């Protein structure tokens, strides 16, 4: 296998943190024959020493700290505003990368698109989330951003989509691959074990607890304190909840802070069930329909029942129902979720069935070696085939 020179121009970078950053970190950590350079405006904690620093327009950066912040983001998302890309051009002339890689998230993906077209270097784009609905922009800018997002998809010579739903929403493409989130390759999946009768039924959620998921988790945390027959443990970044509630969930040992994927593995292995949440808010509908939670492949490795709490239209619910691989709760009312958890706690046979189904997914659909091989081989085959077709406009 020959070496592959990749220039990553992206706001999402490979770091051992969470979300898309963690997925890139796992992909690039064990990538044979890779020569990786990164063009970024955030150089902390990166895998490679080959960094090309990007600095945004100073005036716009100052505006971002004023009451005009939303207008600033309108400009950043709708126009190319990075003016020091000469460093990238110099790097390309000296090193001649085989491909430019980006993640369709935040403003640097537009720069990757621009540089790819300027130098006629193939562009490979990863689509993890429906970025137009996540961006901090005015309503009038969101439609423009959606069209730009779709153009990025069409003008990429190869695309990785996190699931079938986002691929369908983006439309047809001559070279698109479904690449599920890669779980921790160091975790060895184990067969599920029945819960001892004397043990408390413990549900664990590991992920984002603020933003669109904040209200859901606040309601659930408040409610479960009335039910001593089972435990809820939340792991994630610092909370932005009301101070009084933060004190309560810490005192009740519900909120346990943030832990990296390696450190939290033993905790997840000891859980009775693992919770996935998807937002019920109408403005988040497109995002919930198209994004696939990375915690699902991660959870499956532990052979525990997976509980999905989300709307009917969400990709996670579709997956759970299609494969009969999760307990699905589609009511936004926390009380209904608690009722479903209590019923599961009284059904040891169903716990075993769901645990075995999770293990089946971990060894098949979400096998990390299989996912990594797909990613690596797709990039090498794409480069060696020297695909040359006219991109969509």
Say yes or no to pLDDT of 212 above 50.
yes
Say yes or no to pLDDT of 34 above 50.
yes
pLDDT tens readout for residues 190-208: 666 655 555 789 999 999 9
User: Which residues sit opposite 103 in a β-bridge?
Assistant: 126
Residue 291 CB-density burial (10 A; 0-12 exposed, 13-18 middle, 19+ buried) = buried
Say yes or no to pLDDT of 87 above 80.
yes
Could you tell me the pTM of the whole model? 0.91
**Does the domain at residues 4-183+367-385 carry the CATH identifier 1.10.357.10?**
no
Q: Which two tokens stand for residue 112?
A: 């990757």
Q: Are 358 and 325 in contact (CB under 8 A)?
A: yes
Q: Where are the chain's structural domains?
A: 4-183+367-385, 201-363
Q: How confident is the model at residue 71 (pLDDT cuts 50, 70, 90)?
A: confident
Q: What angle do CA 338, 342, 348 make, to 5 degrees?
A: 145
What's the confidence (pLDDT) of residue 20?
92
What's the confidence (pLDDT) of residue 322?
96
Q: Which two tokens stand for residue 247?
A: 């004190």
Average pLDDT, the chain: 89
What's the confidence (pLDDT) of residue 390?
40
Least confident residue range of 184-188, 229-233, 377-381, 384-388: 384-388
CATH number, span 201-363 = 3.40.50.2000
Q: Are 233 and 256 in contact (CB under 8 A)?
A: yes
Picking from 17, 6, 28, 34, the residue whose alpha carbon sits closest to that of residue 112 is 6
What's the confidence (pLDDT) of residue 82?
60
What average pLDDT does range 167-175 have in this prediction?
96
Say yes or no to pLDDT of 392 above 50.
no
Cα separation, 121 vs 219, in Å, equals 49
Q: Which two tokens stand for residue 61?
A: 């950066």
The answer to whether 4-183+367-385 and 201-363 have equal CATH topology is: yes
Say yes or no to pLDDT of 224 above 80.
yes
What's the confidence (pLDDT) of residue 393?
40
Spatial neighbors of 5 by CB under 8 A, at least 6 apart, are: 35, 37, 95, 96, 97, 98, 99
How many alpha carbons lie under 13 Å from residue 138 in its C-beta half-sphere?
Answer: 10
pLDDT tens readout for residues 340-364: 999 999 999 999 999 999 999 999 9
What average pLDDT does range 243-267 have in this prediction?
92
What's the confidence (pLDDT) of residue 213?
94
């Amino acid at each position: 296998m020959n070496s592959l020179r990749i220039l990553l121009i992206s706001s999402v970078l490979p770091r051992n943190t969470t979300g898309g950053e963690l997925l890139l970190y796992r992909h690039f950590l064990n990538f044979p024959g890779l020569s990786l350079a990164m063009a970024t405006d955030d150089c902390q904690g990166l895998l490679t020493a080959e960094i090309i620093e990007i600095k945004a327009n100073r005036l716009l950066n100052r505006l971002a700290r004023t009451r005009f912040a939303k207008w600033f983001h309108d400009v950043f998302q709708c126009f190319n505003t990075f003016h020091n890309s000469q460093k990238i051009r110099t790097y390309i002339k000296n090193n001649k990368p085989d491909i430019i890689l980006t993640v369709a998230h935040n403003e640097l993906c537009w720069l990757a698109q621009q540089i790819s077209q300027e130098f006629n270097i193939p562009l490979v784009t990863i689509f993890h989330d429906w970025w137009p609905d996540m961006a901090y922009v005015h309503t009038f800018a969101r439609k423009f951003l959606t069209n730009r997002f779709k153009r990025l998809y069409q003008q990429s010579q190869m695309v990785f989509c996190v699931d079938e739903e986002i691929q369908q929403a983006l439309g047809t493409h001559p070279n698109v691959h479904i690449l599920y989130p890669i779980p921790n390759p160091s975790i060895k999946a184990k067969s599920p074990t029945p819960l001892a009768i004397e043990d408390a039924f413990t549900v664990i959620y590991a992920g984002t607890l603020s933003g669109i998921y904040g209200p859901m988790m606040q309601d659930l945390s408040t409610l479960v304190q009335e039910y001593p027959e089972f435990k809820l443990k939340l792991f994630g970044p610092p909370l932005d909840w009301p101070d009084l509630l933060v004190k309560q969930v810490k005192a009740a040992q519900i909120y346990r802070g943030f832990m990296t994927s390696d450190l939290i593995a033993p905790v997840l292995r000891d859980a009775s069930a693992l919770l996935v949440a998807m937002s019920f808010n109408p403005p988040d509908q497109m995002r919930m329909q198209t994004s696939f939670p990375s915690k699902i492949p991660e959870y499956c490795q532990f052979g525990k029942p997976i509980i999905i709490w989300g709307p009917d239209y969400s990709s996670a619910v579709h997956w759970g129902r299609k494969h009969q691989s999760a307990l699905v709760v589609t009511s936004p009312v926390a009380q209904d979720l608690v009722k479903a958890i209590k019923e599961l706690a009284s059904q040891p046979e169903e716990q075993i069935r769901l645990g075995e189904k999770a293990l089946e997914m971990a060894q098949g659909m979400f096998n990390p070696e299989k996912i990594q091989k797909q990613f690596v081989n797709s990039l090498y085959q794409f480069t060696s085939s020297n695909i040359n077709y006219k991109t969509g406009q």
